[in-house]
A and B are shown apart, each in its own frame.
Chain A
Amino acid sequence: MSQRIYITGLGVISAIGNNVPETLASLTQSKTGIGKIHHLTTRYKDEFLAGEIKLSNEQLADLVNDHNPDLNRNSYIAMLAAKEAVQNSGIDTADGLRTGVISSTTVAGMGKTELYYKELFEKDDHLSVLDTHDCGDSTERIADFLGNVDYVTTISTACSSAANAIMLGCRMIKNGLLDRAVVGGVDALSKFTFNGFNTLMILDKEWSKPFDENRKGLNLGEAAAFLVIEGEEALKKRNGKALAEIVGYANTNDAYHQTASSPEGYGAQMAIEQALQMSGLKPGDIDYINMHGTGTPNNDLSEGTATRAVFGDKVPRFSSTKAFTGHTLAAAAAIEAVISVLSIQNDMIFPNLNFTTPIAGLDLVPETSLVKTPVNTVLSNSFGFGGNCSSLIFKKVSA
């Protein structure tokens, strides 16, 4: 009953591109999307950098060709990325097979709620923001946009959210509940999240430097990324083409602190080990690790320690691509899954920008420029507040 799960479509919109080809171009040209803040309204506009999508809400509405006033930035970008993934895969949601939409988000409609919340107490004009504030809203917008969707749900496990959406999609197909699923995550920038991370004092005012001894924190970004995953039976039925296979996944909890990761990276280590175990691969079989690598002192130390614990002195080539996109929270694991598949498809490892000095005691050196090398297997890590740790393993489809 347990069938293999294939990725057959990719879709993404982020600071480094409005679609997959643009994203790949930025990655290969080492072109970061993080810069001065243009769209977000905040008093810190000139003080901090962010990885914004380079389109206004008006332009996004034009792209999805829907000017319904109830749509917000989260929904626009989710619809665009999900549509790209579906078109890329070539699936037809009306063909009678069971399609699920499994999305994830942390900020949901807050980006719009925060614009009107105070005004709501005085006048009725924007009371409808209450209906689009919750996390399920953008998921149902995707489902209605694609049409003929049999199943919807939404996950929110902070910065590991999309990894869990991908994992759930795999499990539902394997358990015979769905034939295929559009899985991923979305988080548009909001003043709320920006200020939240600022109170935690983990935002770097300059470009973030993942895995660098002198890293100061993260840059926030915004993105939506979705993948179409299909069970081998559904794929065979329509004679579709697989881009990569998902061979391992695991979800654990660090259970150490509400926000911080344990210094020894216990939860992260377990997630990596359990994902490896499921895939049947040995640590030495991994060609590339796409790290969570946020650039905060705490995350990179913890993740680095866990990486050392699993891989010893034979750590595979690795990088964090968050210095390209910024930390896109719920979307992070999905955009990094897309990047992992691009890595496999193109036999390329994308660089860890802004790195100069290894973390003392760990001596982990990421790839700092584009590497062309055969990439058959990729491990991708995602960790979040609340101790949520998830790891995914992708594999090239043998010809």
Chain B
Amino acid sequence: MDALIEKLKGQIIEQLNLAEVKPEEINPDSPLFGEGLGLDSIDALELIVLLEKHYGIKIEDPKDGKTIFQSVRTMAEYIKSQGKS
């Protein structure tokens, strides 16, 4: 799980072009949206593509992102639950 979380952090930074953010600054349990990294709805769409591109997971309804993208940890757990890690 920890390895997956670390891998995800790097992928998120790359996908969202968060040049100013270092992986160690991302707390896996902090919220990704609003406070925390301060991401918005466009980033949520970017993360959906990240899951498809790197893990082969397709999310059809953007609303599902709300629960999956709460934190890096919830993302990792979702990937595991889909048997794709």
| A–B interface present (Cβ within 8 A) | yes
Residues of A at the B interface (CB closer than 8 Å) are 199-201, 257-260
Task: Say whether A257 contacts B40, CB under 8 Å.
Answer: yes
Bound CA span A201–B48, Å: 10
A/B pair count, beta carbons within 8 Å: 12
Q: Say which residue of A199, A257, A258, A259 sits within 8 Å of B49 (CB atoms).
A: A199
Task: Say whether A259 contacts B42, CB under 8 Å.
Answer: yes
Instruction: Looking at the assembled complex, report how far the CB atom of B61 sits from the nearest CB atom of chain A, in whole angstroms.
Output: 8
Within 8 A of A (CB), among B19-66: 40-42, 45, 48-49, 62
Pairs A–B under 8 Å by Cβ, sample size 8: A199-B45, A199-B49, A201-B48, A201-B62, A257-B40, A257-B41, A258-B42, A259-B41
Residues of B at the A interface (CB closer than 8 Å) are 40-42, 45, 48-49, 62
Leading 10 A-B pairs by shortest Cβ distance: A201-B62, A260-B41, A201-B45, A199-B45, A200-B45, A259-B42, A258-B42, A257-B40, A257-B41, A199-B49
Chain B residues near A200 (CB-CB < 8 A) = 45
Chain B residues near A260 (CB-CB < 8 A) = 41
Bound CA span A110–B53, Å: 26
Told that A200-B45, A201-B48 touch, could you supply 10 new A-B pairs with CB distance under 8 A? Answer: A199-B45, A199-B49, A201-B45, A201-B62, A257-B40, A257-B41, A258-B42, A259-B41, A259-B42, A260-B41
Instruction: Looking at the assembled complex, report how far the CB atom of A365 sits from the nearest CB atom of chain B, in whole angstroms.
Output: 25
Bound CA span A258–B42, Å: 9
Q: A205's closest neighbor in chain B, by CB?
A: B60
Instruction: Looking at the assembled complex, report how far the CB atom of B40 sits from the nearest CB atom of chain A, in whole angstroms.
Output: 7
Chain B residues near A258 (CB-CB < 8 A) = 42
Instruction: Looking at the assembled complex, report how far the CB atom of A296 sits from the nearest CB atom of chain B, in whole angstroms.
Output: 11
Bound CA span A259–B45, Å: 12
A199, A201, A258, A259 pick with most chain B CB within 10 angstroms: A201
Instruction: Looking at the assembled complex, report how far the CB atom of B64 sits from the nearest CB atom of chain A, in whole angstroms.
Output: 11
